[in-house]
Chains A and B, each alone.
Chain A
């Protein structure tokens, strides 16, 4: 069950790197006030809406 010390160190490094990326994701999700898991869908929607709006004339 016990992993070698090296492997543990490697896991710690990976954790730090992934944690840094997770922080980016959380910060980005905050901009749209959504949960991080919903961000791809929300970004897609905003991009689409933006494109549509750009094509549209003012009301």
Chain B
């Protein structure tokens, strides 16, 4: 098995071929090899080692500015201007929750915006070429470092500079480093002698794409990474036909470098730090913090596993006692962590994220509760909601969508705080029992996962191991194992979007009760919609499933023979009901989002004939009033007779036109998507929506009930059209029966029930006396 190190060694045999660019020669950059890490680096100034702090370099820019001073937002504006002026298209950021991918929850790098899967193979789909994007990313593998090291964030902006499809389009190494050099020297005004380019290797974890990597450093700080997707590894290096440039800039780092502040947070959070200090009345001891910053710059929990020892070392070097450390250093660290976590939450909630105890919401709740614990620990008189507003105010020029989502951010943060308080009260006894105990990391994880009790609530500090275990369990979705039927793959011609219910076909394969035809009009179970039923000759079709490109018809008492010509009949009535219920699912999803809030996403659905269900993301069960409003709005959509439109388009065009809400049912693993537009609701969907022309055909929608099925997920059960009518007729029968029993008219039942109940209570009271 080849390793990253092995591949790097191969490329290092020809450094001039893989890393050298024209600019290095023109500007006088000379190559050397770092004696510490063994990597090559290019610099104008004479130096022995590479500039990576891991090889001994110290941050030389803190309180020693060498770049033009610009604010965080100004740097992005200038960067956008520079790249647009140099042939790039500036595109808006993608969401921080990577809904277009089913293998990750969060957007962890700008290149993720353009990575898609096409039948299991990763492909790039991009709206422009070349382009620049201010991508907000979320990473939760460094939570403990946030606030402490001065440079770690859970949410950060990675301006992505990308060029695709070289040599047919885009550009390659020379242009990449040229842009890099020109932006840094012309716009940021960094003296070219202070730039160092370090050689490394860029690779996908499975080596499906890899290539040279050039890191740009200045005074010990890494400002950008330029990855060149050049090869794939298949028993050796094989050149990729389509090459991709993946440059990730660090906006937080550029701002820190430009402002030369003690921590990156001071440069990144703008006036939010000042507002926090003013509100809480805490003060920064600049001299002390400066000394601390010099030491913290080298801190990284990844390397310094024993946090306590590291902390004691710092206390010793600062010549202070623990109490002073808590007051002058830890309080400030906590402030930075709270500011970072709140900013991450604001982005996530604005993009439809919801904290919860599972899935994509898991780490949102982890950081939210960490922030609340820190506020409580240091008795800061500040609420997360007001910090969120400070952030949205500061970032409104760059990310106006945050300001637009302010109400939702506040609602969710308040609801989560309430849940946190309730959980604390509920778990008081468990907290008391465990306080002061020496608990293993596994026990702490168990307490957190079972009761939501964090180590901090027990008076302990979270450790790296604690977060590592949570990370392992919750950073990526678990791929559900699907039922498999062992049958050789045979492509079935699929015609189920044509409204034909009787057809002839040839039996290609029979295995047990499963039949494969050469073509079919039977709709297989997919996209939450149950399958068609019907007959193949006289054999009853009870289920239809799709495995790859093969459609399997499960039949009762199978007497069909391979090669036989058969007559098939699809149960049309069943199909119509399924289609109506499926369209109602889209309508209710839209109505719920409008009535409840933008955090409402489809978490699951099942469309059957007796009823359908839609699971939505929401932090509490729906009230009766909310349910009624959702039903009312849904029925208004039905009555408005809006057209149901279906179109096939490329994923990239669909995303551009309709945004990422199209992925309500999850990521689509194919290049083209089937877009279903019902009024304002647009979703990528494989359902049989072609059966209906407009919403009126769905028939009136009846919500049968709602319930909270898990933390953050509410189930809505409903039916529509004739099914709703027949359900209501049943209810009418019950009402009639009650009216008869009470001897009143239907309209008088409520009053009669009240009277009966009151009399019953009165009589019981009398007897008890």
Contact = CB atoms under 8 A, between A and B. Distances in A.
A11 B721 CA distance: 8
Contact of A28 (B721, B749, B759): B749
A21 to B, nearest CB: 5
B741 interface: yes
B594 to A, nearest CB: 21
B750 A43 contact: no
B130 to A, nearest CB: 50
Contacts of B750: 24, 27-28, 31
Nearest to B575: A1
A47 B732 contact: no
* B722, B746, B750, B759: residue with the most chain A Cβ atoms closer than 10 Å: B750
Interface string A16-48: 001101101101100110001101100110110
Interface stretch (B131-139, B440-448, B761-769): B761-769
A6 interface: no
A59 B576 CA distance: 62
Contacts of A50: 756, 759-760, 763
A14 B757 contact: no
B573 to A, nearest CB: 8
Nearest to B769: A58
Nearest to B691: A1
A41 B732 CA distance: 15
B718 to A, nearest CB: 13
Given A14-B725, A36-B731, A58-B767, A43 B700 contact: no
A27 B499 CA distance: 43
Contact of A22 (B576, B728, B760): B728
B196 to A, nearest CB: 71
A47 to B, nearest CB: 7
A43 to B, nearest CB: 5
Interface in B719-769: 721-722, 724-725, 728-729, 731-732, 734-735, 737-738, 741-742, 746-747, 749-750, 753-754, 756-757, 759-760, 763-764, 766-769
B125 interface: no
B700 A11 contact: yes
A39 B738 contact: yes
Nearest to A22: B731
Contact of A24 (B696, B735, B767): B735
A19 B724 CA distance: 10
A14 B741 CA distance: 25
B734 to A, nearest CB: 6
Given A31-B757, A50-B756, A50-B760, A15 B700 contact: yes
Given A46-B757, A49-B760, A36 B725 contact: no
Contacts of B764: 53
A46 B639 contact: no
A18 B731 contact: yes
A34 to B, nearest CB: 11
Contacts of B721: 11
Given A1-B691, A11-B725, A19-B702, A40 B734 contact: yes
Contacts of B763: 50, 53-54
Contact of B767 (A15, A21, A22, A59): A59
* A11, A31, A56: residue with the most chain B Cβ atoms closer than 10 Å: A31
Contacts of A15: 699-700, 702, 724-725, 728
A35 B729 CA distance: 17
A56 B639 contact: no
A36 B742 CA distance: 15
B728 A19 contact: yes
Nearest to A44: B741
Contact of A18 (B728, B742, B768): B728
A23 to B, nearest CB: 9
B738 A25 contact: yes
A50 B763 CA distance: 7
A44 B224 CA distance: 77
B69 interface: no
A28 B756 CA distance: 11
A12 B725 CA distance: 9
A14 B738 CA distance: 21
A51 to B, nearest CB: 9
A43 B767 contact: no
A27 B757 CA distance: 13
A4 to B, nearest CB: 12
Given A15-B728, A18-B732, A28-B753, A1 B741 contact: no
Contacts of B757: 31-32, 46
A18 B754 CA distance: 22
B744 to A, nearest CB: 11
Nearest to B639: A12
B572 interface: yes
B697 interface: yes
A24 B742 CA distance: 14
B46 to A, nearest CB: 82
Contact of B746 (A11, A24, A46): A24
Contacts of A39: 734, 738
* B721, B757, B766: residue with the most chain A Cβ atoms closer than 10 Å: B757
* A19, A39, A43, A44: residue with the most chain B Cβ atoms closer than 10 Å: A43
A37 B747 CA distance: 18
B738 A43 contact: yes
Given A47-B741, A49-B760, A25 B702 contact: no
Nearest to B638: A12
Nearest to A45: B760
Contacts of A24: 735, 746-747, 749-750
Interface of A: 1-2, 8, 11-12, 14-15, 18-19, 21-22, 24-25, 27-28, 31-32, 36-37, 39-40, 43-44, 46-47, 49-50, 53-54, 56, 58-59
24 contacts: A2-B697, A11-B700, A12-B639, A14-B725, A15-B699, A15-B724, A21-B735, A21-B746, A22-B735, A24-B735, A24-B746, A24-B750, A25-B735, A25-B749, A28-B735, A28-B750, A43-B738, A43-B742, A46-B757, A46-B760, A47-B742, A53-B763, A58-B766, A58-B767
Given A21-B746, A39-B734, 17 more contacts: A1-B572, A11-B699, A15-B724, A15-B725, A18-B728, A19-B700, A19-B702, A19-B728, A21-B731, A24-B735, A24-B747, A40-B738, A47-B742, A50-B759, A54-B763, A58-B767, A59-B767
What are the nearest 6 A-B pairs in CB distance?
A18-B728, A15-B700, A53-B763, A28-B753, A40-B737, A25-B735
